[in-house]
A and B are shown apart, each in its own frame.
Chain A
């Protein structure tokens, strides 16, 4: 696999081109879905395909800390909120039925090396048209739907506990 990467690099002379905005947004959406997914779901999906490609690590899963910044009221001065552990991983992957390789990237909250590896593999696979369609249906859309449902459910639960204070009258006018 490493051999393959070297060959591709040696034969291509053009520098990386900025991806068009649409493609970038689509990839962002997929990467977010993979990053927020349940590790077990990814593992189960991966088990179906893992025989049909080989991949190599460009950067093995490694955990580090990322400083989160916040703004008071979402508009004030920036301040450091705290550090969050993040695992990142980069793989170079080549499906058996394709002549080219792709790089897959992942950044995962927490110290989760296996999750980072799987997410990076899927990110790479999703760059091949043949795989992208199938995976979009079987993995990405269910993941996004499940997350939307989860968020909506939580929003509903929270909404039920909402208290409106407009009934409080201070009585000064009487």
Chain B
């Protein structure tokens, strides 16, 4: 018998994973607009993985998607949980990862260190799941432009307000969008969302950012 019994995954794997996937599609279709869904309660292993990060991992990862975890997220419990429920391999190189899970964005690698895809297959790029603070505030910290941002049908567009990112992030993001069709996609998972509620904010590579104020840059 192994020393670390794993915890159960989603209570209803198919439906719950589909709900998360649907939420992610909505988040990527309306960049900058937080999307929240409530799932039936599910177990979260000890460590820095938030419920949103874990829900995305359970919904998206399988044996064909190497995962990269930042040092803070990388605990034996989390690894065991992801290996058991997703069967996904882990990689130590950001460049080899299909999905990167970042629980402490302050210390994350630069965006150019992740796989931007190939000119023939831009879809083989990495997707970054970043745990950040998404306050429900209306403060226009940054303004996005690009497909899906204007004229969306979900009501008044709320400018994204993401805090806790490294100072170089938006500079790197500009370079990332400029490399279109190559580049990484980012989804922010609210680290303050508790329990089975998850809040996501999509930032696909098509979204360009215009900072209205430059906080400590």
Contacts and interface: CB of A to CB of B under 8 A. Distances in A.
Given A9-B7, A12-B4, A60 B13 contact: yes
Contacts of B46: 9-10
Most chain A CB atoms below 10 A, which of B3, B43, B45, B77: B3
A16 B3 CA distance: 5
A28 B5 CA distance: 20
Contacts of A13: 3
Contact of A127 (B1, B45, B76): B1
B9 interface: yes
Nearest to B44: A6
B189 to A, nearest CB: 22
B138 interface: no
Contacts of B3: 12-17
Contacts of A108: none
A2 B4 contact: no
A57 B8 contact: yes
Interface residues of B, number: 17
Given A9-B77, A10-B46, A58-B84, A16 B9 contact: no
B4 A9 contact: yes
Main secondary structure on B side of the interface with A: loop
Is chain A's interface secondary structure helix, strand, loop, or mixed overall? mixed
B43 to A, nearest CB: 7
A101 B43 contact: no
B6 interface: yes
Interface string A1-38: 01001101110111111000000000000000000000
B5 A15 contact: no
Contacts of B6: 5, 9, 58, 103
Interface string A146-161: 0000000000000000
Candidate in B1, B4, B13, B46 with the most chain A CB atoms within 10 angstroms: B1
Given A5-B7, A56-B8, A103 B2 contact: yes
A62 B5 contact: no
Contact of A15 (B4, B13, B43, B84): B4
Contacts of A9: 4-7, 45-46, 77
A100 to B, nearest CB: 8
Nearest to A124: B1
A6 B1 contact: no
A84 B2 CA distance: 29
A58 B2 contact: no
Interface of B: 1-9, 13, 43, 45-46, 76-77, 84-85
Given A9-B45, A58-B5, A103-B5, 7 more contacts: A2-B43, A5-B6, A8-B5, A14-B3, A15-B4, A57-B8, A101-B5
Interface of A: 2, 5-6, 8-10, 12-17, 56-60, 62, 92, 100-103, 127
